[in-house]
Structure 1
């Protein structure tokens, strides 16, 4: 578990993502979003875009008809604030259209 007073590094977040991907795909989706934010904040636009795309791919596997289905389970990952609801529209609003 990362210390909540310190921001996790991108490498730490990637390690968390890899563990979550096999055990909890929704948590992995949240972490992919956090990685996109972290790389954007570091100014690494290509890496941020990769994680946005990964987040969107993972989101495709989840229903999104109700607020309960898109509600995030955590408020932050590795010190990165998560949105209250996580779906493709939110990701595109925060990162722009990748198309």
Structure 2
């Protein structure tokens, strides 16, 4: 995808998401989270909500009983810092009312 430290465009993130969706669903969930953050920070609430929902749908397919199962694999995606752990509770907490 993109460098973990370089700020990627939304288009680059979306392209990476599509590629990851077919090869690495966990990476796709991380990228969906990053896209939700980018859209939220840009004031695009509808797009942010769509990416939050996409992230949550992807996370449903993963176990979440242990810390190891929900630990993110990357520190950031396209310049967006990821939380240490990614599960529905974290996503809902970070996005609050737009979920």
Taking structure 2 as the reference length, the TM-score comes to: 0.94
SS of aligned partner of 1:46:
helix
> What is the alpha-carbon distance in structure 2 between the residues aligned to residue 4 and residue 70 of structure 1?
19
Q: Which runs of 5+ in 1 are unaligned?
A: none
List 4+ stretches of structure 1 deviating above 2 A.
Answer: 1-6
1:3–1:72 distance in 2 versus 1, CA, 3 Å: closer
> What is the alpha-carbon distance in structure 2 between the residues aligned to residue 38 and residue 52 of structure 1?
11
Contact 2:5–2:76 (Cα < 8 Å) also in 1: no
1:85 alignment counterpart: 85
> Deviations for 1:39-92, whole angstroms, at most 9, x for unmatched residues?
001110000000000000000000000000000000000000000000000000
Q: RMSD in angstroms over aligned alpha carbons?
A: 1.4
- Using CA pairs under 8 Å that are at least 6 residues apart, name the structure with larger relative contact order, 1 or 2: 2
Q: Which runs of 5+ in 2 are unaligned?
A: none
Taking structure 1 as the reference length, the TM-score comes to: 0.94
